[in-house]
Structures are given as C-alpha cells and as structure tokens.
Amino acid sequence: MNEFQRELTSSLEKFCQDNIEPHMEHDDHEGKFRMEIFRGLGEYGVTGVTLPEEFGGAGLSYQDYAYVLETIAKYSVPYAVTVSVSSMVQSILLNFGNAEQKKKYLPALTSGEEIGAFALSESHSGSDAANMKTTAKKVDGGYMLNGTKMWITSGGIAKTYIVMARTGGEGAKGVSAFIVRDGDKGFSFGKAEKKMGWKTSPTRELVFENCFVPQENLLLEEGKGFNVAMGGLDRGRVAIGAIGVGCAQRALDESIKYSLTRQQFKQAIFDFQGLQFMLSDMATETEASRLMVHSAALSLDSGTPNSKLCSMAKLKATDTAMKVTTDAVQVLGGVGYTSEYPVERFMRDAKVLQIVEGTNQIQRVVIARHLKKEYEQHA
C-alpha cells in the first residue's frame, strides 16, 4: 500500500466509523437501506473510483478501488456491494456505451446521486445465463421488453438498469443489452427477497410487461449483449474478492480483540495454543486473499486482464471470507452467535459472496478451462 492509498483508506475508515457503523445493527434487523449513506460515499468520491474524471469519476486504479471496497466492507458488506454493482454498470457504459449514453447516464452514477443495477439472471437461468427467456421485440422506434429478472441487487433503489434480453435465436448470440430507467412504462418491481444476509441491500425481481425501450438505449448492437455482460465479469469478480477480504479482515479483527480480553482459566483465551493456531490461519488466509485480489487488480490496471487470475481471486477471497467469519463465531463462542457482536452478521453476509458474480463452482470451471488451454498450447 502506497502513501496515497494509506491516506485514502484511513480517511475512508473514519467516514465509515462515523456514518455506517452506528446504524448497521439496527438497519440489518430492519432491512433498511439509507440512500444518504450512499450519497455520502459519493460526496467522499468513492462511487466512481475507476471512471475518468471527464465523467465525474476519480480516475484511480483498480488497486485503489480494491482497497476502497475492502475498507467499506469492514463496516458493511451490503454498502460495499452496492458501490461495486453500481461501479460495474459504470464500467459497462464506459466500455460499451456511445458518447451520448456516457454523457447522459454516467455523471449521476459516478457522483453517487443515483445507483446502477445489472439485470442478467432469471428464475431458470442463473449460471446458464445464455438460456434467458426475457425478450426484446423490435418495434417502431425501439424495442418492447417482456419477461422477468430475478435476484437483482439494488432492485427498487437503482435508477439505471443494464438489462439483457433476447432479440434473436437461442444461445448467447441472440442476446442484446439495453439501458432501462426506473419509471419507464411497463417496468415494475416484484417481491423483495427475504435473505439470510445483505439485509440492508434490497434484492428484487424486475418485471417487464410491454416495456418500451427506445432505439438509443440499445448498447452496441443487436446480438452483442452477452459480450457486454461478460465484459464486466473480470472487474466484478475482483470487486467481490476485495469485499470478501474486507469481510474476513473485520471478522479477524473482532476475533483477536475479543480473545485478548476474554479470560478463561485465569488467562486470556488468546494465550491458548489451539486458538492461536486458528487465528494464525485466519490471518494467513486473509492476507493471501488480499495479495491475490491485488494481483488480479494489477492485471486490470495493466490493460491486459487475466481472467483466470480474476476468477482465482474471487474464489479464494470469498471462500476465505466464509471460513474466517465462521471461525470468528467459534472464537467468540456463545456471544459470537448473538447480534451483540457483529461476527454473526458478517458470517451471514459472507455466504452469498460465494454465489454472486458466478458461483465458486463456476469459477473453478473457468479456471479449469484456462488451465486446459494453457497446457494444450504447450503440449
């Protein structure tokens, strides 16, 4: 971490301590999202970290972005995820949008005034995203969308949605990408999901019933939607990996602080070797995950993304988050299972990190494909 990154994370820590931490126990219980917190993060300059300054972004690196997400996640995984998904929408618009689309939609997103959401999954097409059923039929002046999208992060609070729909035949080549705005006629929201974790981040079904999308809201051209969707995956996976590191780090911090003060048999429980071994493993796995995430981020910054490494980083960091948070509950014992301490919340929040941006089983498939290709080339 360089001096700029230390200053950035140190001041961001203070913002999170003052503005996020005091609300999290209550808001997790109530399932409450505070737009003022997100806008505060925008005013702080971390809702458009990697976007160019001409569109209101900070123009920073993906390594900087990884530290930002890790820091926010130490206080709230859901707010970090909200920043991450909105930032992914920004990167899609930057990389695949035309000049008018960038000018129209990016400033409100990079400033944190609005939130972006990404709509790919459906009830019968999660990992098999190319099997989607939502359709976009060509009509005069644009397209008519019909269908539903499921498990959409920030559904109902986002204003700009990147929606994948089928304009052609079966498979990936028949998918196109559209920009849809909250309030568009024919676009509504289904039920809010009741979830194990991420309770302050709303997850909703999107419903399209003869929703007209003008021609100018098509990204790229017909049949290029899957390219758009896949184009954001490497960045999204690094982001979720960084959030996993922050989640694990907070659980580790809580475990060490507690074990240094909690006494049993007339000594701090930290002094028991069995616990020292657990904490040492937790710390080692967290640091290893951080290094892998930053290695993947460096590949993004270099302009030559290493997709295998991005999948590895997401896999490693989120599996680590699940293991470390589970061990943290064990270290704290009975109180770790109560909401008196935050480790149970971080354990619940960690679980879905293994599922989003491609399940960790899918990450292994991606990694294996890269390995096969690499070794066949050298055979």
Report the catalytic residues: 357
Q: Cβ distance 329 to 347 under 8 Å? A: yes
Euclidean distance between CA atoms 309 and 297, whole angstroms: 9
Q: Cβ distance 231 to 198 under 8 Å? A: no
Distance set, CA 312 to CA 56, 133, 350, 353, 359 (Å): 31, 30, 17, 14, 12
CB within 8 Å of 298: residues ≥ 6 apart = 62, 63
Euclidean distance between CA atoms 68 and 52, whole angstroms: 17
Euclidean distance between CA atoms 334 and 243, whole angstroms: 26
